Amino acid sequence: MTESATSTTDWLTKRRRYKRLMYGSLWVGIIGLLVGTYLDQYLAGVVVYWAGFFGMIGVWQFSPVALYDERDTAIEQKASDYTLGVFAFVLVLGGPGGIALEEGGILTLPPAFGGAMWALVAVYAIFGVIYTLLRRRG
């Protein structure tokens, strides 16, 4: 194998290995949380979940090879934009619409509806703050 082919293979192998480690850590955390919940060991489950989550972050940030490239970031950004768009429609149409239907006696909304709408308001409020800060920073 040529030197170039060897270094390509090494790079690909490393990338694959660290990605597996990253997602493996997250899965261990998730499974730990589920097992802890099932066994009524909630605290242990949460600790394992957080360890798995922060392990994933650690691998992602400190791996010697980049695990995601600019195209991955661009796709993630687009997906975030679309997701925010979908939930914007849910909030703008669903919130006032649901209230109007309930006040008109047409519908009885479940108690969780209000909480869900306020959660979306909080999401967009945070989005607005972060957007403003980033815009000011140029």
Partner 1 sequence: MKNTLCDHRDRTDESQADLAAAVGVSRQSINAIERGRYDPSLELAFKLAAHYECAIEELFDPELDD
Should residue 70 be labelled a site residue for partner 1 when binding is judged by CB under 8 A?
yes
Q: How far apart are CA 27 and CA 33, in angstroms?
A: 10
Half-sphere exposure (Cβ direction) of 68: Cα atoms closer than 13 Å: 14
Closest approach, Cβ 6 to partner 1, in A, equals 11
Residue from the set 39, 66, 100, 125 that interacts with partner 1 by CB under 8 A: 66
Residue from the set 3, 40, 69, 103 that interacts with partner 1 by CB under 8 A: 69
Site for partner 1 (CB under 8 A): how many residues?
A: 13
Closest approach, Cβ 11 to partner 1, in A, equals 4
Closest to 16 measured CA to CA, from 73, 59, 70, 71: 59
Residue from the set 34, 35, 39, 74 that interacts with partner 1 by CB under 8 A: 74
Query: Nearer Cβ to partner 1, position 8 or 80?
Result: 8
Half-sphere exposure (Cβ direction) of 45: Cα atoms closer than 13 Å: 12
Residue from the set 72, 93, 97, 131 that interacts with partner 1 by CB under 8 A: 72
Closest approach, Cβ 70 to partner 1, in A, equals 5
Query: Nearer Cβ to partner 1, position 70 or 103?
Result: 70
Please say whether the beta carbons of 132 and 102 come within 8 A: no
Q: Which residues of 87-101 are buried (b: 16+ CB within 10 A; e: fewer)?
A: eeeebeeebeebeee
Please say whether the beta carbons of 34 and 45 come within 8 A: yes
One-letter identity of residue 19: K
Site residues for partner 1 per CB under 8 A: 4-5, 7-8, 11-12, 15, 66, 69-72, 74
